[in-house]
């Protein structure tokens, strides 16, 4: 009796390897995140409160860390741009 799964095993293995590599890259990017706000340069101190309030933005392999005050300013500016159009 012929195994049906054998036909797609190479394809599944290739897809799984690609996903694992992508995950490893994302983990490395997050571990090596910036240690200060990208706008005001306020230092990021890892505390339970700061982890919940600071914002991390990842776009095309670039990681940006934003403090709550600057994030609020950015949101207001974006809303003004959207409302203006």
81 with 61, same domain? Answer: yes
Name 54's Cβ contacts closer than 8 Å, sequence gap at least 6. Answer: 37, 44, 65, 66, 67, 68, 71
Whether residue 83 sits in one domain with residue 46:
yes
pTM: 0.59
Q: 70 and 44, same structural domain?
A: yes
81 and 50 in a single domain? The answer is: yes
User: What's the pLDDT at 2?
Assistant: 57
Question: 16-67 pLDDT, tens per residue?
Answer: 999 999 888 878 877 777 889 989 999 988 889 988 999 988 887 788 899 9
**Residue 57 and residue 25 in one domain:** no
H-state helical runs in the chain:
6-31, 48-53, 68-84
User: In this structure, is the dihedral angle defined by the CA atoms of residues 28, 31, 36 and 39, taken in order, positive or negative?
Assistant: positive
Q: What's the structural domain count of the chain? A: 2
Residue tagged 């919940």 (tokens) = 52
Q: Does residue 44 share a domain with residue 27?
A: no
Segments forming the whole domain that contains residue 5: 1-32
């Amino acid at each position: 009796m012929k195994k049906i799964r054998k036909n797609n095993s190479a394809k599944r293995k290739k897809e799984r390897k690609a996903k694992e590599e992508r995950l490893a890259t994302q983990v490395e990017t997050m571990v090596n995140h910036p240690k200060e706000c990208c706008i005001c340069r306020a230092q990021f101190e890892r505390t339970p409160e700061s982890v919940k309030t600071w914002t991390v933005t990842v776009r095309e392999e670039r990681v940006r860390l934003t403090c709550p005050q600057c994030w609020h300013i950015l949101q207001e500016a974006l809303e003004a741009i959207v409302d203006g159009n």
